[in-house]
Chain A
Amino acid sequence: MATVAGTMAAPTAEGVVWSWLTTVDHKRIGILYGVTAFIFFLIGGLEALAIRAQLAVPNGGVIDPELYNQLFTMHALTMIFLAVMPLGAAFFNFMIPLMIGARDVAFPRLNALSYWIFLAGGLVLTSSFFLGGAPDTGWFAYAPISGGAYSGSGMDYYVIGLLILGLSSLAAALNFAVTIINMRAPGMTMMRMPVFVWMTLIVAFLLILALPVLTVALVQLLFDRQYTTSFFLPSGGGDPILWQHLFWIFGHPEVYILILPAMGIVSEVLPTFSRKPLFGYAAMVFAGVAIGFLGWAVWSHHMFTTGLGAVPRVVFATSTMIIGVPTGIKIFNWLSTMWGGSIRFTTAMYFSVSFIALFTIGGISGVMHASPPVDQQQQDTYFIVAHLHYVLVGGAIVGLFSGLYYWWPKMTGRFLSETLGKWNFWLMFIGLNMTFFPMHFLGVAGMPRRIYTYDAGLGWEFWNMFASVGALILAIGVLVFVINVARTMRQPKTAGDNPWDGSTLEWATSSPPPEHDFDAIPEVRARDPLWYDRDHGLSQPEGDPDEHIHMPPPSYYPLILAFGVLLLGIGPLSHLAVTALGVPVVIYAIWGWVLEPTE
């Protein structure tokens, strides 16, 4: 392979570490995303346990308020940006090309770049703990408390970290949008795509359209903090409410960015283990699209208490309640998918079935505070904490665990232990309900959010202790999963191509799939292609074993470019010379990237 003057030779496959650092294989990138995100999930979990330890008893003395404020801020940032979003990305990466019958994503190197930039952003955000204190104003960073006068350097890490993470998500979203639109196997029309692929496409577009708004808000916050502008600072004529609008115009679509992948996973798992097609496929797709659209028209429901006028409150209350309609359609369709089935209760199915009930709880409480008067009592209380955790833990995390158990054999060729899986499920299920259900009671009893201490005698003692015990059980449940994973790595690869008798294309190739995914590009004849083939005595095309399939070679440049972006970001946090150092790195990486042969 010819080397263009001044650029590096393409990496050879020698060396395990370098092969992972330079990989552009969507499956390996998916695994990198998954492992990294899971580590961040554990870190976010530890942060939550520290919070629960502090709140277990009134006037708790485990951590001081400064650290507490950092912990609840970082718990949210870690779970949202470093755990749930990238865990979704892990499945997008590994599964989307397989599910649409492609050999890779549209832009393999861009895909690697997304991962490395994500890692850089995660490190910037998390390192703040050791470099002068983490962000401590809540993940929403309301002005003016996020301004320089009221908060420390942690907020600079917040701004830079989220800008870097936004870049990563934007690159990934563009990549998956193009991949899904353009790279489907012959016969896979849009209305034959698996629902998980549909949900990924919607998430990609939500990211593409929501992230730039966050970017603008963050840049303005950066200017307020560093260059004494006053976009959001009332002391200089700015408007703190403007930040809230910009943040939630991003922030509410973000909620659907977090939950739609889980809905997609559940929509794959339920049909497979009920042994029947998804009920009301078209309604399911349109409900997802409707949620994606409506997600843009509801942001001010986060701001019902800020003094919005009566008309906006009426409008946003109504649009928010209307989201209950497509959500209701989805829930009924999932239930009907089980109706008339012959249900195999694997661990993946346990998680998916419990998703329906748990997500319903979060959905119902959400509709309750869609009503502004009710929200005026519930906003910023533990009722909201309960609501959002039923959506994000009972919904997103439970859905993602379902996906882990469902696709683990495909990803590794090995089964996770079903016995440990059931322990995993029941501990998490009991733990999360013990933790989050009593928070409804605490909210109704008037306990505000984000308080590090509370007095005895307010009727909050019992349920706080109860929730803290529940958090411990939830943590043990997660630990059982870790043990299960460690154990499965020593098991033989006994999973065949299609251990669950799934209907979608990822089950048409080997487990784990070869680097080129499919020996021959699959043909899609119906919505559930493998079941259609099975029922009609058809088979997928066989590959020619002698054919050499060109796959893009590994590349150093995504790693180098991400490193350059990291330097650019570290500059404003330390010394602008670091940014100056980053510029040539970025230029070099782009130059090498463009000229690198990808044959």
Chain B
Amino acid sequence: MRSSRSLRRLAPVALLALALALAACSDPQTTVDPKSNFADDIQFVYLLTFWLGMAVFIGILALTVGLAFWYRERPGRVAKQIHGNTRLEIVWTLIPVVLVVIMAVPTWQVIADSSKPAPGDALRVNAIGHQWWFEFQYDLDNDGEYDDLITANELHIPAGRPVTFNLLSDDVIHSFWVPQLAGKVDMVPGHANDLWFTPHEDAARAEAYLGQCAEFCGTAHANMRFRVFVDTPEGFAAWVANEQADGAEPADELALMGQELFLTPVWTLPGGGGGILGCTGCHTVAGAPGAVGRIGPNLTHVGSRSTIAAGILDTNFENLVAWISNPDREKPGADYNDDTARFMPAFETVLTREQIEAIAVYLLGLQ
């Protein structure tokens, strides 16, 4: 995207704008503090349209207020009976035409740039929207199979290397949006959209970039969030190595009890009114026998993620206990359609508090 970059250098006003826009940059989900090449390009067009729009607005506001004040009714004033003025009208037809051209050309440029295929060395990731969480599948060995690393709701990418996403959906339309890294692209079931960008070399930081589903997708749409960690290349390699390992074995008695509970295939409801699937019916923990469910998030390294439940709860003991006990209480809608077995049931109906705590300890140990 060299050409639009040079355009940007030629526009010092953009720098001034950037300084002013920094006021909004302290907001963690801000759209005006770009950290990738694509976000930079968007920012350039945004600032261009913003300042043009500002100029037009101030002009029209001044005219509206000025004319209204100047030509208000006063003794002796007689309204001039003017029907029009062709020359003036041509002028103000041309003004918007010129403004449109100024905005359209860089727009076309950025569309063309962002529609180019991703560079060959790009990191390849499937991002799949589910009601209401994000699944990420990496193709690290470039064999076309997105099976090298599977995680949920927290994405790690290396700084300075292009990353390209296949955006997919498992149910309804979602939208993949990390404002500081890229504009949103929808995840449409039956369509494979893509998106690529290169995070800045200096974008690596410990703090996550916040992302959120941006297309209305049902009850818990507001709680469908995710985080993107831009790592240094070394940090990314370390993360990959850890993620590709099997889930940690339980470290103590309690965790071991938790693992046993976790691996129980079916729980009978008290009173014998049928049963509900155990954790492994939906979740995978690599290395744990039988834990190969693919309906819910992969939990192999859930303890190492900063949040659970699609970015709404910090990963800690209390939150895990609360979540397993009754997900719907933490995230309304999480169990709204039990009969499809696609949502997480409230395990407090079949497990004791102690049992749930044991599972939480086991999960926290899956670093």
Residues of A within 8 A of B (CB): 64-66, 69, 137-138, 142, 144-145, 150, 234-235, 238-241, 274-277, 279-283, 305-307, 309-310, 313-314, 317-318, 321-322, 324-325, 327-329, 331-333, 335-336, 338-345, 353, 356-357, 360-361, 364-365, 367-368, 370-381, 441, 443-455, 457-460
Contacts and interface: CB of A to CB of B under 8 A. Distances in A.
Contacts of B193: 306-307
Nearest to B54: A364
7 contacts: A274-B71, A281-B84, A336-B82, A342-B78, A342-B79, A371-B107, A379-B184
Interface in B73-87: 73-74, 77-85
B306 to A, nearest CB: 14
Contacts of A325: 93, 96-97, 100
Interface residues on B, range: 35 or more
Contacts of B64: 335, 353, 356-357
A109 to B, nearest CB: 40
A225 B247 CA distance: 43
Which 5 residue pairs across A and B have the least CB separation, nearest first?
A376-B183, A234-B190, A446-B29, A459-B27, A451-B222
A277 to B, nearest CB: 5
B112 interface: yes
Interface stretch (B139-147, B172-180, B235-243, B349-357): B172-180
Contact of A458 (B27, B100, B332): B27
A376 B185 contact: yes
B30 A277 contact: no
Contacts of B88: 332, 336
A180 to B, nearest CB: 23
A342 B31 contact: no
B217 A145 contact: yes
B293 to A, nearest CB: 21
Interface in B84-106: 84-85, 88-89, 92-93, 95-97, 99-100, 103-104
Interface string B329-342: 00011000000000
A162 to B, nearest CB: 18
B68 interface: yes
A435 B361 CA distance: 46
Given A377-B183, A445-B24, A353 B223 contact: no
A279 B83 contact: yes
B184 A452 contact: no
A321 B28 contact: no
A184 to B, nearest CB: 21
B216 A306 contact: no
Given A341-B79, A459-B28, A318 B216 contact: no
Contact of B172 (A144, A280, A375): A144
Given A368-B49, A445-B29, A458-B28, A380 B175 contact: yes
Nearest to B219: A65
Given A446-B30, A446-B210, A341 B189 contact: no
A335 B63 contact: yes
Contacts of B171: 144, 150
A466 to B, nearest CB: 15
Given A240-B189, A317-B107, A368 B46 contact: yes
B215 interface: yes
B218 interface: yes
B216 A450 contact: yes
Given A318-B108, A332-B92, 5 more contacts: A283-B84, A306-B193, A321-B107, A340-B82, A377-B179
B2 interface: no
A475 B89 CA distance: 39
Interface in B156-189: 167, 171-173, 175, 177, 179, 182-186, 188-189
Contacts of A150: 171-172, 218
A307 B24 contact: no
A340 B71 contact: yes
A276 B80 contact: yes
A441 to B, nearest CB: 7
A240 B190 contact: yes
A363 to B, nearest CB: 9
Contacts of B84: 279-283
B248 interface: no
B188 A241 contact: yes
Given A325-B93, A332-B92, A372-B107, A360 B29 contact: no
B42 A64 contact: no
Contacts of A371: 45, 49, 103-104, 107, 110
Nearest to B216: A450
B356 to A, nearest CB: 24
A287 to B, nearest CB: 9
B79 A444 contact: no
A82 to B, nearest CB: 21
B123 interface: no
Which of B79, B179, B189 is packed against the most chain A CB atoms within 10 Å? B79
A341 B71 contact: yes
